[in-house]
């Protein structure tokens, strides 16, 4: 029995017992969806921005997960972590940072964190610039059509943006 994996499982259980910010956000400024071609899971992240002290920052984030419990746990933590961050600050967060509260992810679960990072990047690409206070476009067609670039692809598992 591995203490590390037991601790990891218990942290995941705690996180999914009361997941934060789960669900669709009807008034989101940005939406990003990614899927893993390996496990078939998907994560969608919603961002709502606000102006604070002349700076455009994330007011709220929420997620939908069509995936495993680890992806739900990471997304729950990540959406809390994103509040108050600029697009540039959010975009610099790695999967490891987004899932830091769970501790190191077991090798088979690393892509679950990468899915959340991928969804975040897809959302930032869809609806924001790099922290410029100018308002982002709200045209839903523009959001849907701009999911293509910069999905993280690491190791054997490919995380891909999904239109929709
Ligand atoms: Fe695929 Fe967790 S097993 S997202």
Query: Residue 8 C-alpha to ligand 1 middle, in angstroms?
Result: 15
Q: Ligand 1 pocket, 71 CB below 6 A?
A: yes
pLDDT digits (tens, 9 = 90+) for 50-98: 999 999 999 999 999 998 999 999 999 999 999 999 999 999 999 999 9
Long-range interactions of 5-14: CB distance < 8 A, separation 24+: 5/106, 7/103, 8/102, 8/103, 8/104, 8/105, 8/106, 8/109, 11/73, 11/101, 11/102, 11/103, 12/69, 12/70, 12/73, 12/102, 13/69
- Domain chopping of the chain, boundaries: 3-161
pLDDT digits (tens, 9 = 90+) for 4-40: 788 999 999 999 999 999 999 999 999 999 999 889 9
Q: Ligand 1 pocket, 70 CB below 6 A?
A: yes
Res. 111: pLDDT tops 90 = yes
Active-site residues: which are they? 39, 112
Query: Residue 145 C-alpha to ligand 1 middle, in angstroms?
Result: 26
Q: What was the pLDDT predicted at 43? A: 97
pLDDT digits (tens, 9 = 90+) for 123-160: 999 864 444 444 444 444 433 433 434 444 445 678 89
Fold of 3-161: Sufe protein. Chain: A (3.90.1010)
**Prediction pTM value:** 0.80
Mean pLDDT of 93-109: 95
Query: Residue 97 C-alpha to ligand 1 middle, in angstroms?
Result: 18
């Amino acid at each position: 029995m591995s203490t590390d994996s037991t601790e990891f499982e218990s942290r995941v259980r705690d996180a999914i017992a009361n997941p934060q910010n789960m669900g669709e956000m009807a008034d989101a400024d940005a939406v990003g969806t990614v899927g893993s071609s390996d496990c078939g899971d998907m994560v969608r992240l919603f961002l709502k921005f606000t102006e604070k002290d002349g700076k455009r920052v994330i007011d709220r984030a929420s997620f939908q997960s069509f995936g495993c419990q680890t992806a739900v746990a990471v997304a729950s933590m990540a959406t809390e972590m994103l509040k108050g961050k600029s697009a540039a600050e959010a975009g610099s967060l790695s999967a490891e940072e987004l899932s830091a509260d769970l501790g190191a992810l077991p090798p088979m679960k690393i892509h679950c964190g990468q899915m959340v990072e991928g969804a975040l990047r897809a959302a930032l690409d869809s609806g924001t610039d790099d922290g410029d206070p100018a308002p982002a476009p709200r045209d839903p067609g523009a959001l849907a059509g701009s999911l293509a670039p910069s999905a993280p692809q690491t190791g054997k598992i490919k995380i891909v943006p999904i239109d929709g």
